[in-house]
Amino acid sequence: MRKGPWRFLLLALMAVSGMSCQKLGLRDMDRVRNYICLSGPPTMRVSVLRNVSSVTVYIDGPFKIVDPATQRMVRDGRYFPPTAITVDHGAFKIGSVPAACGALRIISADPRGVTLRDVSYRTEHVKEITYRGEIELQRTGGKMDVLNIVDVETYLAGVLGSEVPLYWPDSALRAQAIVSRTYALFQKKMNQTRDYDVVATIGDQKYLGAKAEDAKSRRIVGETRGIVLFYKNHLFPTYFHSTCGGHTEEVSYLLDSRSIEPLKGVPCPYCRESKYFKKWTETFTEKEIRDKLRRQRYKVGTIISIRPYEFGPGGRARMLEIVSNTGTVKMRAYAFRLALGSTRLRNTNFTVRKIGNAFEFKGNGYGHGIGMCQFGAMGQAKQGRSAIDIVEYYYPGVEVAKIY
């Protein structure tokens, strides 16, 4: 009986502070520190395309195009038909009309956003991709960079649908939303002097714009609105990956980063459902490896042996020794993986065997192995663990805080 009024007061306080207590569970909201320091979601500058000379833009509704430096109106109208915006002799052209400014901000009054057509997105060619918020074209010499300027919560709804399947249990998706928000805001803080905060690919977080969102991704992001992870009162890079294969890795074994408690690696028996959990095998010919390494300017001759050494707590090699007929090269295993292609050489947790004039790599897991294991988060969610349980498991020593 005595608990009644207190419980009511707590619920009332949470309602006032905007916390979605029913969604996260009362037990969990006790574990979220109320640290409101921002009035609303910060804006992200997402690098969508770099160094292109033309982009076709289309808006199915009222729009305006302004010069962001002066706010001068360059063009407006009720509909923007598919039009190529190009950089020609160092100046913008909208269709055939020159626009003398260093950048163009394209603003749609239609909430569906701005569509880009025929985009070469990494190795794929995308026929059409739509972004919420605004598109900014920045002239860089004879070419341009394309940015999506969007508030972080809207960005996250697209990230969530691009990074993980939206049929996964809610608490795995909430964990991903908290981790992705922290990662994005950390990058924003670190890249203030750069002209963008994050790239739209797995280099940071995969972001396929509006088509990756749905009602569920927006709901999940809303339920975790403003919630981030702090370590010693600071945001930190909450790396994550697909499947650790049994143990996540200490950050310093892969990157030249300082080792911190939340990124030291933890055992993870939860990602067995991933098709990448079991052993994978990938074979490269000696010539293929030599060519790929030479393209990255490593001086190797005919390769005789490849030996991984200096293993992290998660079993991934920090270093590789490559013996060739012209000498021995020592390199970071991480750099070797990137040189060979990170989708074929799925991580640095492998053994190598020479078979004839080829090398066979066997390993398990997929991704760099640092921070949260996404399939592990899904496995834990299926066992009834909450989003807060999951993030506290993969990043030990963190504080979960709501900052707006």
User: Which chain residues interact with Zn ion by CB under 5 A?
Assistant: 244, 268, 271, 373, 376
Please identify, using beta-carbon distances, which residue of 148 and 248 lies nearer to Zn ion: 248
Q: Which residues contact 119 (CB under 8 A, 6 or more apart)?
A: 48, 49, 55, 125, 126, 128, 129
* Minimum distance, C-beta of residue 57 to Zn ion, in the bound complex (Å): 41
Q: How far is the CB of 380 from Zn ion (least distance, A)?
A: 9
CB of 249 to Zn ion, least distance (A): 11
Nearer to Zn ion, 210 or 268 (CB): 268
CA distances from 102 to 48, 68, 194, 247 (A): 18, 9, 16, 48
- Nearer Cβ to Zn ion, position 227 or 244? 244
Closest approach, Cβ 2 to Zn ion, in A, equals: 44
CB contact at 8 A, 377 and 172: yes
Give the distance between the most distant pair of CA atoms in the chain. Answer: 81
19 membership: H or E segment, kind and range:
none
Instruction: Measure Cα distances from 90 to 138, 143, 217, 243 in Å.
Output: 11, 7, 40, 45
- In terms of CB distance, is 187 or 242 closer to Zn ion? 242
Q: Which of 324, 130, 120 is nearest to 208 (CA)?
A: 130
Of 57, 56, 74, residue with least CA distance to 65? 74
3-state SS assignment for residue 266:
coil
DSSP-derived 3-state class of residue 21: helix
Cβ-based nearer residue to Zn ion, 114 or 377: 377
Pick between residue 213 and residue 249 the one whose CB is nearest to Zn ion.
249
Identify the CA nearest to 71 among candidates 25, 30, 103, 29: 103
CB of 373 to Zn ion, least distance (A): 3
Residue with Cβ nearer Zn ion (92 or 277): 277
Report the nearest approach of Zn ion to the CB of residue 25 (Å).
24
CB 208, min distance to Zn ion, A:
24
